[in-house]
Amino acid sequence: MALFTPTAYWGEDSSPPAPFAPSDIPNLAAWYDASDTSTYRMSGTQIAGIQGRNGYGDDLDSAGNTYPVAGSTQNGLNTLYFNGSGLFVNPYNDPLATNGLHFAVGVFYPQNVNATKDSLWSLESTSYNYAVSSNQNFAWWGEVDMGNGVGSNIRIGPFSSTNYENQWIIVSVAFTKLPSPNMVQFWINAHVGSSSNGWRTTYLTNLDTNQKLRIMANRSGGKKQEGRFGELLIYNGECGVPGTVDDNLFYRYQAEGYLAWKWGLQAKLPSNHPYRNSAP
């Protein structure tokens, strides 16, 4: 029996659709991907920094006492390991929010937490900024720390009393004005937090447009997170389709689905996530 081989996909187009990419979501501002070794900036044998993939985001410099090194692979993809004394930092302030709108989704593996402000990433400005931090000095429970006046609470968290150390996690943060009231929201593996004030607060004052990005460090750079880094996507726009209440998280779902399937973490998504069973 002959096997049928499809020759067309849509109409007369004989090519399959292009795979989903983070740039398919509007307002991609920065994209850092440890799996793409061509974006590493080398100084001899040392990783001196990382470039924004496909031109999204400026170069980040390695800073602190040590440079990152190649970490164990995840789902066959390269990662970067930070030993708790180094970080990536943008020497400039970049436009990472527009009219206060911002969301970011990243893949990280925190290890050996020793301070409550150990952070996976942070955005620093004069006043209105944030960091995604551990919340505990012995475990990674998760919180979002905000500059005074950004939210009705100065922080979201602890997300829960689950320790997310020594495992890969998908972390999502959104500063959104859709739907009303304006909200700051926080998810781990696309789940909402289980503690009081564990995942959202009212968004009062816009994030500053220009921010200094750090990966694996808090806003001052003084508290550095040991662990592995996979990928970080930053958008300076809504995490949903404007004007459509039912789709107010549409783009955030896409970013989470993309990262989950790429890094082999789709089983961590909740059962009702639109990309739990298939990639975007």
Is 15 a domain residue?
A: no
Q: How many domains does the chain have?
A: 1
pLDDT at 11 over 80: no
pLDDT given at position 181: 80
Strand ranges (DSSP E) for the chain?
28-33, 40-43, 46-50, 60-64, 69-74, 77-82, 86-89, 94-95, 102-111, 119-124, 130-135, 140-146, 155-156, 169-176, 183-188, 200-202, 210-215, 226-235
In a domain, 152, yes or no: yes
Domain extent for 224: 22-268
Q: Give domain status of residue 13, yes or no.
A: no
**In CATH, what number is assigned to the domain containing residue 214?**
2.60.120.200
Give pLDDT, residue 7.
Answer: 43
Domain presence at residue 10: no
pLDDT in tens, 169-196: 999 999 999 867 899 999 999 999 988 7
Residue 209 in domain:
yes
Residue 216 lies in a domain: yes
* 85-97 confidence digits (pLDDT tens): 999 999 899 999 9
**Which residue in the block uniquely carries the two structure tokens 């920065």?**
30
Query: Residue 261's CB: how many other CB atoms inside 10 A?
Result: 18
Task: Determine, yes or no, domain membership for 92.
Answer: yes
Residue (of 109, 82, 57, 80) closest to 217 by Cα position: 82
Alpha-carbon Rg for the chain, nearest whole angstrom, is 19
Q: 3-class secondary structure for 35-69?
A: CCHHHEEEECCEEEEECCHHHCCCCEEEEECCCCE
Q: Could you give the maximum distance between any two Cα atoms of the chain, in Å?
A: 70
Q: Look at residue 1 and tell me if it is in a domain.
A: no
Q: Which pLDDT value is given to residue 199?
A: 94
Tell me the sheet residues that pair with 69.
81
Of 5-19, 172-186, 217-231, minimum mean pLDDT range: 5-19
Mean pLDDT, range 61-84, rounded to an integer: 97
Report the distance separating Cα 202 and Cα 229, nearest Å: 30
